[in-house]
Amino acid sequence: MKFLDSLRFRIASLFRRSELDTDIEEELRSHMQHRADDLERAGLPRWKAERQARLEFGGPAKFREQTREAAGGTFIESIFQDLRFAARMLRKSPGFAAITVITLGLAIGANAVVFGLLNSLILRPLNVPDSQSLYAPERKASFLDPSQSYPDYLDLRARNRSFDGLAGFTVGFASLDAGDSPSTSWMYEVTGNYFDELRIQPYLGSFFHASDEHGPDSVPYVVLTYAYWHSHFQDDRNVVGRTIQLNKHPFTILGVAPPGFHGTLLIFSPDYFVPMIDARLIDGNSFLDSRQTRWVFMTFGHLKPGVTKAQAIDDLNSIGSYLGKTYPKDDDKMSFTLARPSLYGDYLGRPFTAFLTALMLLAGLILLAACANLGSLFAARATDRSRELAMRIALGSSPARMLRQLFTEAVLVALIGGALGLWGSVNLLQTLSVWRPVPGVTSTIPVTADANVYIAALVLALASGFLFGAVPVRQVLRGNPYEVIKSGGSAQVGRRISARDILLGVQVAICALLVTCSMVAVRGLLRTMHSNFGFEPRNAMMVNDYLNLGGYTGDKVPAMQRRMIDALQTIPGVTAVGMIDQPPLNEGWNSFIVYDDRTADLTPANAAAEVVGYSMSPDYFQAAATPLLAGRTFNWNDDANSTRVAVVNNEFARRIFGSAAKAIGGYYKMQDGTRIQIVGIVPDGKYTNVTEDPHPAMFRPILQAPSGDNWLVIRSTTDPQSLATAIKSKLRGLDSGLPFLIETWDQKLTTALLGSRIATASLGVLGVLGSLLSVTGIFGLSAYTVSKRKRELGIRIALGAQRRELLEAALGKAIRLLAWGSVAGLVIGILAGRALSFIIYRATPLDPLALAAVIVAMALLGLLGTWIPAQRALGLDPLTLLREE
């Protein structure tokens, strides 16, 4: 309370400032008049008495100041004074002010952006009530997988005692016809209890509920997202009750979801929600009864109050082992873990967290480097101002007061820089949040700068202000005013290594580390782009058509597929046309478990391998430019009536047969017992993502493993534009109502390489920031050295020093610091690079080219930073110099 009282008193007296001053003034005058009255009574004339009284009183200014301080009015007031003074000092050296503010702005901006991402993606859960208790069960398979089969989901929902309820959803694609023309759209197929489990209320109309479900295709309702309603129905409040066509089936619009709700995946927002129970109606086929097909993308629910994560996991595991015992053919013993649903569970959550944490760390280092930089600038400035500071000490300013003045200046710079950085980062985050990384998909990165980001930026600004403001403290306190003023403030040679030099060394090391990281990342990305995917994306066009959306089912599908291939083959310049159900490195893939031919008991526990499986047309390998290592590829005679065959990759052959040679002609079994003969071997490629280890894969003829998903691969050296036009007209000629997408395979791959690209871009930006900082740091030190030692350098020239010796004297220290700092940074970078290789595919720190690039980069930065000071040192004219002093 004492403190509060005193604070209140001080604040009050701040506003009473003028009142207090008048008060003091009047009282002192009254005192002197009373004294003069006495002196007059003793016989002095009035004017003499008044003069005498003033003399006796002593320095009124000094006492006035002391009195004001005793009255408690000076603390806040002097802070304002300090602020005004600091602003004036900064205005007087605009170059210094600009450099410091920009440096700090960049560093704080970088931190605010990374923190903003971390905050929106990791720290902040979904925008629904009670989202803290929302968890998604993930199966521990070869990786953590949140997907379930529909019957398993029903069992998990019915048998668990830990969740308030369990909802599920899967992501789908459909053509939507609201009356004018069909357009492609993204949907979540959700369980009936989806909205109720999320505890959200409709913005308009109503939601469907679990109680509406009465068996397959019983709930022909659709709920629109707010964004889709806004963009496609122009905010029309009368849409509720309207009928639209989904894949040519009528559905009634039931309601509109609230504006803040974009689905349960942060990076994938649907256009609308439909009941999963209608899957057959919408997709043309349904896996509602299949326990083996884990097509429910993710399930989630609120943990019951009082139930811990560990208890819930135990609960789920016991259900898992029950299911494994009851359905040994379908479920091996399943074990579970819990994850946050918003980032696709741990699948994206883990790498996102790891990457953003690493980025945050690097951004922190940038800020540290910036502080080191500004610290040495402030120290240099304090040296330049040593005469002024000494004068002030000599005139009776207290050291505490002077330190406060210096800190005020540092914090002022920090706050301005922080505001600048925050402004920039808020804008950048805004841009990011409307950026569509994957063309054609409504996938937004929902980043917004909230209060957390503002607070973080403010705290960082204040902390860094105090950090670099503290650098010159010792220097100021130790300064001996007498010496400084006597010697003119320039003669101090100082110790061999000062705190400033160490700061610069540390800063150079940090920058070298950042440059190393970004070089390693860039090299990794380049190598990824040119690595062997198992196919050749250049000169290939991809057409994704939606036969099921076009109304093709059953036997009509293979016939149409054949017709499309034949039609496209007639385009001039096309060398091969192939078809595959899912291209490698697509967003989705199909996984199968396979058994050794000798295995009789086909339970998942006895499986030989989990493999990625493809259905393809005979010419796919030719179209994809995948070389055949051994055996043959398919032909159209490999149909439903002939021996089941497959082409497998090297890894498959090695894993199950020991070698490619043994595999040719060998057999393996599928889950349903089908024996498949291996007729060919292809090299290993990349299937699920570019960073995966060699993964077994099998390719089967499309007539033996039919699929409604179609990706046509057209190889041609014709330019993509005219090829696309030709493809379009051919397909339109076959069926004008068939929806399809055309893109080059390179464009298609953008998505697969997006992660690496983003990682490389962010590291690159940090590397550039680091380089900027080290250039300004080195420039600062060498320019300062040259200007301080002008006289000495002039004498050296006069005594006949050569250019080399002169430069050695002027810049030797800066260069040595640069060299040592770079070496230290490089070594740390090599160690840290190991961590990088987890994030960026094929990033290895021990890459001679990357390391050479770092060394060249640091040398160039050094050259850049010392160039102007060197010119200045060489251009010194000893005569003018010696005359000046």
Partner 1 sequence: MGDQAQLLPGTLDLLILRAVSLGPLHGYGILLRIAQISGNALLIEQGALYPGLFRLVRQGLLKTNWGTSENNRRAKFYELTTAGRKRLREETANWNRLATAIGAALGAQPEEV
As a whole number of angstroms, the distance between CA 565 and CA 559 comes to: 10
Q: By CB under 8 A, name the one of 8, 15, 66, 231 that touches partner 1.
A: 66
Shortest distance, position 6 Cβ to partner 1, whole Å: 9
Nearest residue (CB) to partner 1, 66 versus 308: 66
> Is 75 near partner 1 (CB under 8 A)?
no
In this complex, which beta carbon is closest to partner 1, that of residue 40 or of residue 545? 40
Among 18, 42, 58, 478, contact with partner 1 (rule: CB under 8 A): 58
Residues 6+ apart with CB under 8 A from 241: 205, 252, 253
- Judge residue 26's burial from the number of C-beta atoms within 10 Å of its C-beta, 0-12 exposed, 13-18 middle, 19 or more buried: exposed
Kindly tell me which of 31 and 237 has the beta carbon lying closer to partner 1.
31
Of 56 and 587, nearer to partner 1 (C-beta) is 56
Quick one: 167 exposed, middle or buried, by C-beta within 10 A (0-12, 13-18, 19+)? buried
Instruction: Look up residue 131 and give its two tokens.
Output: 């989202």
Applying CB under 8 A, which of residues 19, 25, 56, 808 lies at the interface with partner 1? Answer: 56
Which residues have a Cβ under 8 Å from the Cβ of 162 and sit 6 or more positions away? 303, 304, 307, 311, 312, 315, 316
Residue with tokens 């003018």: 880
CB–CB of 399/475 below 8 Å?
Answer: no
Residue (30 or 531) nearer to partner 1, CB: 30
Q: Are 541 and 742 in contact (CB under 8 A)?
A: yes
* From candidates 19, 22, 48, 69, binder to partner 1 by CB under 8 A: 69
Rounded to 5°, angle at Cα 260 from 256 and 264: 85
Residue ranges with strand state E in 381-487:
none
Rounded to a whole number of angstroms, the minimum distance from the CB of residue 28 to partner 1 is: 7
Residues 6+ apart with CB under 8 A from 64: 24, 25, 28
Is 56 or 289 the residue whose CB approaches partner 1 more closely? Answer: 56
The one among 17, 63, 462, 863 contacting partner 1 by CB under 8 A: 63
Q: What is the closest distance, in whole angstroms, from the C-beta atom of residue 68 to partner 1 in the complex?
A: 8
CB 404 within 8 A of CB 389: no
The distance of Cα 186 from the centroid of its chain, to the nearest Å, equals 25
How far is 273 from 259, CA to CA, in rounded Å?
A: 14
Q: For residue 731, which of 747, 710, 745 has the smallest C-alpha distance?
A: 710
Angle formed by the axes of helices 346-384 and 803-839, to 10°? 160
Of 62-70, 112-120, 557-565, 672-680, the window that binds partner 1 (rule: CB under 8 A) is 62-70
Nearer Cβ to partner 1 (35/230): 35
Give strand pairing partners of 145.
Answer: 139
Figure out which of the listed residues 14, 71, 240, 828 binds partner 1, where binding follows CB under 8 A: 71
Span from 50-58, 98-106, 175-183, 617-625 in contact with partner 1 (CB under 8 A): 50-58
Give, in order, the Cα–Cα distances in Å from 368 to each of 148, 415, 779, 832. 47, 16, 18, 17
How many residues interact with partner 1 (rule CB under 8 A)? 26
Nearer to partner 1, 62 or 662 (CB): 62
Q: Which of the stretches 64-72, 257-265, 547-555, 634-642 binds partner 1 when contact is defined by CB under 8 A?
A: 64-72
Q: Are 579 and 636 in contact (CB under 8 A)?
A: no
The distance of closest approach from Cβ of residue 393 to partner 1 in the complex, given in angstroms and rounded to an integer, is 22
Closer residue to partner 1 (CB): 69 or 236 = 69
Question: Would you count residue 289 as binding partner 1 (CB under 8 A)?
Answer: no
Does position 62 bind partner 1 by CB under 8 A? yes
Cβ-contact 272, 172 below 8 angstroms: no
Pick between residue 30 and residue 871 the one whose CB is nearest to partner 1: 30
CA–CA distance, 438 with 588 (Å, rounded to integer): 14
Nearer to partner 1, 52 or 787 (CB): 52
Near partner 1 by CB under 8 A: residue from 70, 394, 491, 846: 70
> Which is closer to partner 1, CB of 19 or CB of 587?
19
Least gap, CB of 18 to partner 1 (angstroms): 16
C-alpha 221/C-alpha 234 separation (Å) is 20
CB of 511 vs partner 1, minimal distance in Å? 52
**What is the nearest approach in angstroms of partner 1 to the Cβ of residue 353?**
55
Which one, 57 or 636, has the nearer CB to partner 1? 57
Beta bridge partners of 255: 205, 223
CB of 23 to partner 1, least distance (A): 8
Least Å distance between CB 3 and partner 1?
14
Asked if 557 and 547 touch (Cβ cutoff 8 Å), the reply is yes
Contact 323, 309 (CB under 8 A): no
CB atoms within 10 A of CB 824: 17
Taking the complex as a whole, the smallest distance from the CB of residue 432 to partner 1 amounts, in Å, to 55
Q: How far is the CB of 9 from partner 1 (least distance, A)?
A: 7
Q: Which residues of 142-151 are buried (b: 16+ CB within 10 A; e: fewer)?
A: eebbbbbbbb
Name residues whose C-beta falls within 8 Å of residue 633's C-beta, 6 or more positions apart in sequence.
618, 621, 622, 647, 679, 680
Instruction: Yes or no: say if 745 and 540 are a contact pair by the CB < 8 Å rule.
Output: yes
Using CB under 8 A as the binding rule, the residues of this chain from 479 to 508 that contact partner 1 are none
Residue with tokens 């004498």: 795
Q: Which of 619, 574, 579 is nearest to 719 (CA)?
A: 574
Quick note: the x/- pattern for partner 1 over 20-39, rule CB under 8 A, is: ---xx-xxx-xx-xxx-x--
Stretch that binds partner 1, among 63-71, 139-147, 235-243, 872-880 (CB under 8 A): 63-71
The piece of 52-60, 242-250, 375-383, 626-634 that touches partner 1 (CB under 8 A) is 52-60
- The residue among 72 and 328 lying less far from partner 1, judged by its C-beta, is 72
**Which is closer to partner 1, CB of 68 or CB of 139?**
68
- Residue 61 CB, shortest distance to partner 1, in Å, is 10
Site for partner 1 in 690-749 (CB under 8 A): none
Q: Which amino acid is at 327?
A: Y
Q: Which of the ranges 68-76, 513-521, 674-682, 857-865 carries the binding residues for partner 1, by CB under 8 A?
A: 68-76
Region of residue 554 (phi > 0: left; psi between -120 and 50: alpha; otherwise: beta): left
CA-CA-CA-CA torsion for 647, 651, 653, 658, nearest 10 degrees?
Answer: 170
Helix (H) or strand (E) holding 249: strand 249-256
Which lies closer to partner 1 via its Cβ, residue 58 or residue 396?
58
Range list of H helices, 288-385: 309-326, 346-384
- Cβ at position 396, least distance to partner 1 in Å: 15
Nearest approach, Cβ of residue 13 and partner 1 (Å)? 9
Beta strands in 489-622 (DSSP E): 540-546, 574-580, 590-596, 609-616
Q: Which is nearer to partner 1, 47 or 867 (CB)?
A: 47
Binding segment toward partner 1, per CB under 8 A, in 61-69, 212-220, 492-500, 809-817: 61-69
What is the closest distance, in whole angstroms, from the C-beta atom of residue 487 to partner 1 in the complex?
Answer: 36
CB 697 within 8 A of CB 651: yes
Q: Which is nearer to partner 1, 62 or 140 (CB)?
A: 62
Q: How far is the CB of 392 from partner 1 (least distance, A)?
A: 22
For partner 1, the binding residue among 9, 75, 347, 466 (CB under 8 A) is 9
Residues that bind partner 1 (CB under 8 A): 9, 23-24, 26-28, 30-31, 33-35, 37, 56-60, 62-63, 66-72
